[in-house]
Amino acid sequence: MAAASALCKKQQHSQKYGRIFKSRFGPQLVVSIADRDMVAEVLRAEGVAPQRANMASWKEYRDARGRATGLISAEGEEWLKMRSVLRQLIMRPRDIAVFSDDINGVVTDLVARVRALRSKQPDGLTVLNVNDLFFKYAMEGVALMLYERRLGCLEEQIPQPSLEYIAALHLMFSSFKTSMYAGAIPKWLRPLIPKPWKEFCHSWDGLFKFSQIHVDRKLSEIQAQVAAGQEVKGGLLTYLLVTKELTLEEIYANMTEMLLAGVDTTSFTLSWSTYLLALHPQVQQQIYEEVVSTLGHDKIPVSEDIPKMPLIRGLVKETLRLFPVLPGNGRITQKNLIVGGYLIPAGTQLALCHYTTSLDESGFPSATQFLPERWVRKDATDRVDNFGSIPFGYGIRSCVGRRIAELEMHLALTQLIQKFRIQVSPLTQEVRAITHGLLTPGAPINVLFVDRK
């Protein structure tokens, strides 16, 4: 059964207009590139500080509120400084490996929550709308690494501050497409159409408020430890607050943006992964056998175990190929480029159509089929073209939280497959992807979690 059936607008345009075409986005000229070799040309030509895209709405909000930019929204020297600080803390596998035990604690709660949720259903097996469950798992895991604190998102009664943040995050995602379009809408139109901009600002207010509460709490704890003459130990946030390599406002901004970016990547990918596993029981069985042969039935995996299970890694890569959370990426050219034989002047906004390239038969034979084994190297010469599917970006501007997201997904999927046989619920019909800025399931994904004997 074909796993990817939805076409985003850029895919439809590429079928109609070709691999490179221009269009208007309000007053902005946008050049769309839907060819992996041309995408490679653009990304390989980047300098030391690539400009992501026009994020005027994000900058306008920060200017209005007196907020700093974070690693997602910053540009130029400001961005380089932040990346230099954060890169040494969360971008190398060995730095992230130390979080295995913490994340496994969250996975334990995830498994318990699966059992609690299915017990409420008549069949005792169904978990309704798994993305809601994985959204809370992702938020709990990312926040633990960022704020060094559990939030209670997987508890039966979620604490009120966490509920408020979840509401702000949902509002941000629901208004994501509109907010990205805000830079293309003249400001004089806002009095006539005030709701999108107000919701955009309201959601950011909620996100920043939540981060500020937790950053300030950690700062107070550190100050109390120093005053008592105690040694200060901790993780990422503690390091940033103690070293002062970033200002307090920059820490607020980066904590906010990294949490925002980390939740959707993990939750949507886990939702699609469970759906694909349920649709393809033979593939699920292969992965289960790999897990059991590596870990047995009861051993809890850690970061060092993941390279021994290439199909678990292939499962995540294949899911992200079929359903990349960000179906496209943006760049502003910083110099004149020749791409596909066309001159693209400096200052042009580019849209790199990753969803299109990831479903291109020339890069991925049987491109619409779910084949995690395509990512398992048979020998040293065997490889998959990276530029066809780059869900975390490429080069110096690639996702700074990639290793965190991968660890969360690998550990969660390994334990879920180890403990449950995942099946499609009779309540779920075919789920298609829809594009609202992010690529999301177009309907609730309901699955059965059947205990393995």
- Looking at the DSSP bridge assignments, the partners of residue 344 are 337
CA 282 to centroid of chain Cα atoms: 27
b/e burial code for range 60-79 (CB count within 10 A of at least 16 → b): bbbeeeebbbbbbbbeeebb
Torsion of CA 57, 59, 64, 70, to 10 degrees: 130
CA 193 to centroid of chain Cα atoms: 30
CB 44 within 8 A of CB 36: no
Locate the DSSP E strands across 12-150: 20-25, 28-33, 126-127
Give the Cα separation of 149 and 218 in Å (integer): 9
State the Cα angle at 78 between 77 and 83, rounded to 5°: 95
Give the Cα separation of 72 and 55 in Å (integer): 10
CB 288 within 8 A of CB 430: no
Report the 10 Å Cβ neighbour count for 363: 19
Locate the DSSP E strands across 209-310: none
Torsion of CA 66, 68, 72, 73, to 10 degrees: 50
153 appears as a binding residue in the annotation: no
Instruction: Write the secondary structure of 186-224 as one string of H (helix), E (strand) and C (coil).
Output: CHHHCCCCCHHHHHHHHHHHHHHHHHHHHHHHHHHHHHH
State the Cα angle at 225 between 222 and 226, rounded to 5°: 90
H/E element, 412: helix 402-419
CA-closest candidate to residue 56, choices 39, 43, 75: 75
What's the first-to-final CA gap in the chain, in angstroms? 28
- Cα 377 to Cα 95, 274, 380, 402: the distances in Å are 25, 23, 7, 21
What residue numbers does the annotated binding site for heme cover? 399
| Known binding-site residue numbers | 399
